[in-house]
Amino acid sequence: MNQAQVTKLVSKLRIKVAPEPRRLRNPKGPEGRLNKLRKTVTGLIKFERIELNFNRADEARQYAERLISEAIAHGDCHKPTMEIADYWLLEKELIHKLFKVLVPRYENCNTAFTKMYRAPRPLYSRNIEKAVLELRGNPYPSLINKQYSNRQLIQNVLLDAAKYDYRQAKYAEMADKIGKTENQQLNNLTKKDEITPENKEEQIPLST
Amino acid sequence: MAEGKPPKVICVYNKKRIGYIGDRVLVAIKGQKKKGILVGLKQIQNVKVPKFDSNNVVLIDDNGTPLGTRIHVPIPTILRTILKERTHAKGADYTKLLSIATKFV
Amino acid sequence: MALVIRKPTFDILSAAKWMIRKDCRALSSLVEKTEETEKRPVGRRARFQNPALEYRHIFPEFLPDPNPKWRNSLREKMERADMLKRRSQIDIPEFYVGSVLAVTISDPHAQGKTNRFVGICIERKGCGLRAEFTLRNVVDHQGVEIRYDLYDPTIQSIQVLRLEKRLDDKLFYLRDALPEYSTFPFDMDPEILPEGTPVPVNTVQVKLKPRPWLERWERQELKGVANIEEHLKEKDRIRRELRKTPWEKYDLMKEYRKTIPVEDQTEIWGEVHNQLNQLRLSRKKMFKKRPISTPKPQLG
């Protein structure tokens, strides 16, 4: 049972945050863990898409999102935010990129700023989960190619042709039906005028 | 005799052998062994029970009568109920301690 | 036939939507021009400037526990309702760590059934109905600390004798300080501050007694202590340097896990601030209406 700290205001992160931080085994302890994560976050902001191990990617994602949300909330001229950016981004051009490029990109964003995908594990190597961590709106082509509506793909070509054939068959059936009903109506009209043997029997006069 | 050493609690008359407020204890003081009652503790207490900066003992004899005439230190009010419970008609009478107390906190 | 019919209606709807959107866009452009001149903060920065967020300093126990394992939204809502009910019964004033309070409780063990204690608040902890505070005073050269539950129904009154803040969050170093810094007379008069003044910050630098201390005060970054360096040996200074963790202040996730985010806080204060305001105003009215006590006529 703890009392929440009220000195600083924080924006809510739009990613899943585990209740306990991952310790990420490091010979230097917590300092080494933060150093390694610093390098990861710098790399993410520099390259905008990196591939690495899952646990480190998850931790770095949380720190990257926090960094960007602090930058958006407080902006360029706020001294503590500048110090935080100075600590986390090892290359100083990236501080400029953070405040001048990423902040306007994500200012009106309602979703998380990063995306993480699970990558295929390397063959014949350590059995470790890999992940790809990228910033949203990065200039690379998307990793997931969900082109359901691309009419040039073979499955869509075949499906379109099948739909077309089905529709044509349906139209032909309906045309046949309409034709049949019209014919029946015509036949009914002409049958009433003609004197057929059935009709003749009916027309026998009553007076005998 | 050995007047230089501060008084020490040697035995707590308790099943658990851990002293709480109002427990009878054996104190080694000035080279002698005397009985006493724990009146204020540095231990973290429940809410509304005061915690003192030093452990305080009031020396007592076997009948429960205090050996001194005044208690300078403030005493928690909870002792009233605790000591009344422990007083038996034919056993020790601890309420005399409460009468010599100057201040209740 | 059915497939043929669907198309024209869709066309009409989409056309209608486009027309509406066109109109709305024209309207919005007009509004934007007037807003630009005011330069209101947009998006995230606006959320941080909500005036209701100031309540987090006055009523920190309304915020829930930051540990997600101990969160329960229903229990929190019910606790907040109960806290407001209790506040409508008794005035729990605004106070901070470092203010001097006088608390009267109904004590079954005491002779007069009530017990009054005056002391300086050295800590405030807990959230919800389990919020606690500790008062410290030196009585007859004996330091006494008493813990109280803020929302305890046996508390008859909490009176603030001196409202002020200190430089630190917790004042446990008063236990190792000279006793004059923790003594407050029981018959202290309440010091009333004029309305609207910000809470004064007492920048007193407390002097500590020589070692041994209860905690290693030199390793905690305390701002309210004067003479720590005098009592340190070379060994302590070396160990302190080795033990320092300068990276902790940049650990963004540690900070995040200890705070409630702004969006959740605005929700909570939105639920609660109306009632708290009403209570404050009704208390002010009652205080003004109270007749000034006339001096009793002397007999004989």
pLDDT-based confidence at B91, cuts 50/70/90?
A: confident
Tell me which chain A residue has its CA closest to the CA of residue C63: A4
Q: Is the pLDDT of residue C99 over 70?
A: yes
Contact flag C142-B78 (C-beta cutoff 8 Å): no
pLDDT-based confidence at C12, cuts 50/70/90?
A: low
Q: Is the pLDDT of residue C201 over 70?
A: yes
* Predicted model pTM: 0.80
Closest CA to C133 of C80, C162, C95, C161: C95
The per-residue pLDDT for C33 is 45
Residue that the structure tokens 């070692």 belong to: C211
Query: Mean of the pLDDT values across residues A157-180?
Result: 96
The per-residue pLDDT for A1 is 72
pLDDT tens per residue across span A101-131: 999 999 999 999 999 999 999 889 888 999 9
Q: Is the pLDDT of residue C84 over 50?
A: yes
With contact defined as beta carbons under 8 Å apart, do B72 and B81 qualify?
no
CA C247 to chain centre: 27
Strand partners, A161: none
For residue C12, how many other CB atoms are within 10 A of its CB?
A: 10
Residues of chain C with CATH 2.30.30.790: 92-202
The per-residue pLDDT for A199 is 57
Contacts across the A-C interface (CB distance below 8 Å): 112
8-state DSSP, B19 = -
CATH superfamily of B8-100: Ribosomal protein L14/L23 (2.40.150.20)
Q: Is the pLDDT of residue C174 over 60?
A: yes
Ramachandran class of C141: left when φ > 0, alpha when ψ lies in -120 to 50, beta otherwise: left
Print burial letters for C140-173: b (CB count within 10 Å at least 16), e (below 16). Answer: eebbbbbbbbbbbeebeebebbbbbbbbbeebbb
A30 near C CB under 8 A: yes
Q: What is the distance in angstroms between the Cα of C158 and the nearest Cα belonging to chain B?
A: 14
Which sign, positive or negative, has the C-alpha torsion C102, C106, C111, C112? positive
Against chain B, the chains showing at least 3 CB pairs within 8 Å are: C
Beta strands in chain A (DSSP E): 49-53, 114-119, 130-135
Contact flag B53-C110 (C-beta cutoff 8 Å): no
Percent of chain A with pLDDT over 70: 92
Which sign, positive or negative, has the C-alpha torsion C4, C5, C8, C10? negative
C97 near A CB under 8 A: no
pLDDT tens per residue across span A35-78: 999 999 999 999 999 999 999 999 999 999 999 999 999 988 99
Q: Is the pLDDT of residue A202 over 80?
A: no
Q: Which residues of C touch A107 (CB under 8 A)?
A: 42-44
CATH class label, C92-202: mainly beta
Domain borders along chain B are: 8-100
Mean model confidence pLDDT for chain B: 90
> What whole-number distance in Å separates Cα of residue C73 and Cα of residue B3?
62
Q: What is the distance in angstroms between the Cα of B84 and the nearest Cα belonging to chain C?
A: 10
C52 near A CB under 8 A: no
For chains C and A, having 3+ Cβ pairs within 8 Å is answered: yes
pLDDT tens per residue across span C203-221: 999 999 998 999 999 999 9
Radius of gyration of chain B (CA): 13
Reduced to 3 states (helix: H, G, I; strand: E, B; else coil), residue B100 is helix
Mean model confidence pLDDT for chain A: 91
> What whole-number distance in Å separates Cα of residue A94 and Cα of residue A102?
10
pLDDT-based confidence at C40, cuts 50/70/90?
A: low
Closest CA to A72 of A17, A18, A16, A12: A12
B70 near C CB under 8 A: no
The per-residue pLDDT for A2 is 81
Percent of chain C with pLDDT over 70: 82
Query: Mean of the pLDDT values across residues A137-141?
Result: 93
Q: Which residues of A touch C255 (CB under 8 A)?
A: 5, 8, 10
> What whole-number distance in Å separates Cα of residue B97 and Cα of residue A34?
60
The per-residue pLDDT for C17 is 53
ipTM, 2 decimals?
0.91
Reduced to 3 states (helix: H, G, I; strand: E, B; else coil), residue C135 is strand
Query: Mean of the pLDDT values across residues B77-81?
Result: 92
Specify the DSSP element, H or E, that contains C282.
Answer: helix C262-289
